Structure 1
Amino acid sequence: MKIAISGKGGVGKTTLSAFLVRWFADQGKSVLAIDADPDANLGNALGVVGASEIPPITAMKDLIAERTESVPGSFGGFFKMNPKVDDLPEKVAVPCGDRIRLMIMGGVKKGGTGCVCPESVLLKNLVHHLILRRDEVVVMDMEAGVEHLGRGTARAVSALITVVEPGRRSVETALRIRRLASDIGLSKLFVVGNKIRNGKDREFLENLLPEFQFLGFLPFDEQIIEADLNGAFASNVSSETRDSLEAIARKLSSMHTAQE
């Protein structure tokens, strides 16, 4: 099962990613947690000690140079477009307890409309391998877009989940992600409403996103904010929050089983 989670910064996508990683591991699955957001926080959300010290792949200049046959720090020139990546999960992913490993992608500095550079080529090939070749659960916490995905991987994604909160900027981000996903043929789109205070908040999201399939709604929970401030896994959430999170995880699991 391959799950990609996106959304505007601050909406709670990393919290959802961390919970799904832990939930699938608790079900006995081997889980690869991928932090593909340049503002890397998934390690902290999982409660990994020293998460901020884990180097991202884009900072591993020697590795990038070796795999792409490029020169570190150089611009232009030739480099390999199909570098070897199948061994990287074992080489660079950090064990995080039983059945969970964490891999931090890192950001690529972009100029103009994009970047065709050794770093981005390595990441694209790695994501392609993770989605198409790895026989395990992959949960990918992404930035507000689908930059790491391509046409070759879109059909293999079990679910692209956009996390939204009651607010027009969050809704606009969800609509933009939907357009980007459509461009690459990614059709398994879902939404999770977060920070829901009352029925009015839920109605607001449902009215502005009528064409989206909602996996569930998560209540506003102070414990999630506290966990984020402490760099810990949000284990002490309310029973309502936990029930809602588990319901979302079970839906994803049952949908994947039905697809198989």
Structure 2
Amino acid sequence: MNTYKKTLLLLITCFITFIKANAATVDTALTHSDAMHKDIKAVVIKPAGYNTNKKFPVLYLLHGFSGNYSDWITKVPAIAGLADQYQVIIVCPDGAFAGWYFDSPANKEWQFETYVGTELVNYIDKHYATINDKSGRAITGLSMGGHGAMYLAFKHQDKFGAAGSMSGVVDIRPFADSFGIEQMLGKYSEHPDTWEKNTVINMVYLIKPNSLAITFDCGYDDFTFKVNSALHDELLMRKIPHDFTVRPGTHNWEYWGNSINYQMLFFSRFFNKQK
């Protein structure tokens, strides 16, 4: 092999090594829920340059109805690049087909508020180099996961410093006969009080101005547009600072794959303000 070929091969090898060293690592973690007495998978994306000598902020990214923990990395693989760009660990939990991120009073086998809001957070902080404080944690999601992110953040402001939602079902009452919600809360006609206290729009009273950084968005042609606009109005009335964005689009992955770019920027600015 001549000198030119050797040099070229060396350069290619170095380039491949550099790329591998500067790319996110996507793992599937097997976590455990004592509340539900079972193991649950979660995708964990570690940014390029991850090492235990540095503490990283964490974004919990929730899937929607009928999805699972692998949805985001499978359908929007570019989120790995966002983990690199913003030096953030991204965690994609499993909220089951229709878990809705509640602790279900109707079925004790469905305790996803406790799992995501407490058990998973504790697992991630124990096994990864995280900023173990609300200043280093954010949570967002799409549709059912948008509801879940707001719901968990509103109720657990000691855990999450920032929250977001993309096309979130932020008022579950108009969808009482859809998406398996009654499996979690019982029928609305039989348990109206349970529904009223567990819908995000009725939980705004839990927030004090500037206690939680909030961003949410929705496509104009999305079936959740009206409930998102109503949440915006409620936050305005209570003088709760927030970002609310309306874009062209509907309830699909094309919209969410675009939306996550803007939300990551919002959360990065939040994390950097805390330093």
Normalised to the residue count of structure 1, the TM-score between the two structures is 0.42
**Bigger CA radius of gyration:** 2
Comparing both chains, which one has the higher relative contact order based on Cα–Cα distances under 8 Å and sequence gaps of 6 or more?
A: 1
